[in-house]
Structures are given as structure tokens and as C-alpha cells.
Amino acid sequence: MDTQKSRREFLLMLASLPAAFVVGAQAAGPSSSTQRATAAPGGATGSQPFRLPPLPYSYDALEPFIDAKTMELHHTKHHAAYVDNLNKALSQHPELAARGLESLLGDLTQVPEDIRQTVRNHGGGHWNHTFFWSLMTPGGAKVPAGKLAQALKSEFGEIDTFKKQFEQAGTKHFGSGWVWLVVSREKKLAIMTTPNQDTPLAAGAKPVLGNDVWEHAYYLKYQNRRGEYLAAWWNVLNWDIAEKNFLAALNEGSSRLDCTVKRHRTLAASRRS
């Protein structure tokens, strides 16, 4: 299948989300504004502000490391349910969607209490999975390069040491959740885990990498062997996107948060007028 073409379609879908889902959108480059404009008519409606993005590759593209059946169920059942439930919750408070999902998840106190837990769980689920899909690719670079590689070496010594610590954190995490490499508030690389569908955004951290350690992500192929899944996952990681995530996290407000920032500017401008 044409991976480049599906990646473009994936980015197009991301760009068409009105409540700015910007994960990976920076990879669209300078043409993204054109794509956004052309995508708008087919975009989401007010009652369904969020949509399930198509994957940028086929369900079997990450074989043998992640099997096709797991990918299909994970995308069409699990991720789809997060999107549906998020939209249902937001239909109670339709004005919230315009603030953008990253903004809501970054400060859940701005979400009314009656839907706060649902936005936390299902909004977090939508954000985490969209980030996760964008982070994988068949046949990606086997090792990080550029500034991220330098930063990993300076923080962890060797890339392999980082990988082992990331795998250990994911393996030891009790129950469902995620393991992350983030840029912390202090602008340092750190490994963290979150329970359920909590995002690092709520802790003020910016994700560079994240792996899903819910059993639904690996059980069909790996059963109880979560550590084996975590070790195999490096084979499908897209280090180019990780590098972009890292640079964007360092330059807060520029690339990664682009859409959200623009939206805030627009709102501020409309208030002034």
C-alpha cells in the first residue's frame, strides 16, 4: 500500500479536526494550511466535534511486531469508542470543543464536573491513541538521530539504557495505562507512566514517545508477556516523528501546539473586536 499517501490522508484528517488535534500535524509542513482549508467542508460537525482518524498505514503494516487483528480491534473498537464517548459528553457542553482537546486535557478543572471524568478518560483515550498511531511506521529508522539522540545520551548514557528503562517502567506499571518519554516542565527528558487514559499533558509534560500497555494493545499476540511486546515495539517506532515531537516540546507554542495557539489568538482577536 502507498504509505506516503495514507500518511497524507492521516494528516489531512488531523488537520480537519476543528478542536485542533495536532499530534503529528507538524509533519504536514508548509502545505498544512492548504490541506486544512480543503479538508474543512468534509470536516466534523458541531455535534460530532471529534472523529476517528484513519490510520496512516494498513492494519497488517506493523506485522510481525503488532498483528493485524490487534491493530484493527484497537482502532475500530477501542479508539472509536473513546471518540464516541467524548463526543457524547461534549454534546452536554458544546462550547467546550472550541477550546481544543489539548487545552481541556492540560487543565481538566476548566471542564464542568458532570463530564470531567468522561473527558479525562475518553478525551485522554482519543488523544493518546492518535499520538500513538502517528508514532509508528513500518520500516522506520532503527535508531534515533539528531537532537533527540544527543539528549537521550546525555540523560541516560546510552540509547539502549534508555530503552531498557522505558521497557522496565512499562512492564512494572500496574494495570492499564501508558509509558512515556516526555519533556518535563523543567525541559528535561524523563520517563513516566500514566494510569488508564491519563495523559502527560495533565502533568504539564510534553510527550515524545508513548506506548500503550493496556492488555488490548498486545494480548492476542503476546498474552501476559508485556515485556516482550515492549521490547518488540522499537521495531515499529517512527523515530522521525519522535524527533519532531521532541523539538516541538522544546519550542513550546510553536510547532506541536500550533493549531491550539492559533485558535487562542483567534478567540483573543474576536474578543478585542
What is the contact mask toward Mn ion in residues 198 to 227, using x (rule: CB under 5 A)?
--------------x-x-------------
Interaction with Mn ion in 30-89: which residues (CB under 5 A)? none
Q: Which residue has the cell 490487534?
A: 70
What is the contact mask toward Mn ion in residues 156 to 195, using x (rule: CB under 5 A)?
----------------------------------------
The type of residue at 147 is: K
Measured from the CB atom, the residue of 75 and 164 that comes closer to Mn ion is 75
- Give dist(CA 33, CA 196) in Å, integer: 34
Q: To the nearest whole angstrom, how small is the minimum distance from the Cβ of residue 125 to Mn ion?
A: 7
Measured from the CB atom, the residue of 25 and 66 that comes closer to Mn ion is 66
- Give dist(CA 154, CA 134) in Å, integer: 26
CB 54 within 8 A of CB 10: yes
Q: Which residue has the cell 500550533?
A: 258
Residues 6+ apart with CB under 8 A from 161: none
Q: To the nearest whole angstrom, how small is the minimum distance from the Cβ of residue 250 to Mn ion?
A: 27
Measured from the CB atom, the residue of 185 and 216 that comes closer to Mn ion is 216
Measured from the CB atom, the residue of 121 and 184 that comes closer to Mn ion is 121
Measured from the CB atom, the residue of 84 and 258 that comes closer to Mn ion is 84
Q: To the nearest whole angstrom, how small is the minimum distance from the Cβ of residue 20 to Mn ion?
A: 22
Q: To the nearest whole angstrom, how small is the minimum distance from the Cβ of residue 215 to Mn ion?
A: 9
CB 192 within 8 A of CB 205: yes
Using CB positions, name the residue nearest to Mn ion.
Answer: 212
Total residues in contact with Mn ion, by rule CB under 5 A: 2
Measured from the CB atom, the residue of 11 and 213 that comes closer to Mn ion is 213
Kindly give the residue spans of alpha helices, DSSP state H, lying in 74-214.
80-90, 101-106, 113-118, 124-134, 146-156, 159-172
Give CA 149 to chain center in angstroms: 21
Measured from the CB atom, the residue of 36 and 51 that comes closer to Mn ion is 51
Q: To the nearest whole angstrom, how small is the minimum distance from the Cβ of residue 129 to Mn ion?
A: 6
Q: To the nearest whole angstrom, how small is the minimum distance from the Cβ of residue 106 to Mn ion?
A: 21
Q: To the nearest whole angstrom, how small is the minimum distance from the Cβ of residue 78 to Mn ion?
A: 5
Binding site for Mn ion (CB under 5 A): 212, 214
